[in-house]
Amino acid sequence: MPTPSEAKVIESIAEVFENKGVKPPPLGAETRLDASLGLDSLDFAELVVRLEAQFGADPFSQGAPTPVRTIGQLAKLYEEALYEQVQ
Partner 1 sequence: MREVLLQKSLADPSRAAVVAEGGSVSWAELVELTETHRRQLGRLGRARVGVRLAGSAGCYAALAALDALQAAVVLLRADLGWGECRQLALELGLCAIVSAAGSGGREPRVDEIQPCGSVGHPGSVILLTSGTTGKPKAARHTWASLARPVRCADPGEGRTWLLTYRPNLYAGLQVALQCLTNQGTLVVPRAGASPPEIARLMAEHGVEFASATPSYWRRLLLFADADVLRRVPLRQVTLGGELVDQQVLDGLSTLFPAARIVHVYATTELGRCFSVSDRRSGFPAAFLDTVSPEGVELRVRDGELQVRSANAMEGYDDCAGTGAPARARARNDLAPTGDLVEVRGDRVFFVGRRSDLINVGGNKVHPAEVERVLRAVPGVGDVRVYAKASSIAGELVACDVVPEPGVDPEHLKRELVRRCSNGLLTFQRPRLIQVVEEIAVSAAGKILRRAPP
70 binds partner 1 (CB under 8 A): no
Among 30, 34, 40, 84, binds partner 1 (CB under 8 A): 40
C-beta closer to partner 1: residue 1 or 53: 53
**How far is Cα 69 from Cα 54, in angstroms, rounded to an integer?**
20
Distance CA 33, CA 67 (A): 11
| Residue from the set 11, 58, 79, 80 that interacts with partner 1 by CB under 8 A | 58
The dihedral through the CA atoms of 35, 38, 43, 48 has a sign that is negative
Q: Which residues lie near partner 1 (CB under 8 A)?
A: 18-21, 40-42, 44-46, 48-50, 58, 60-61
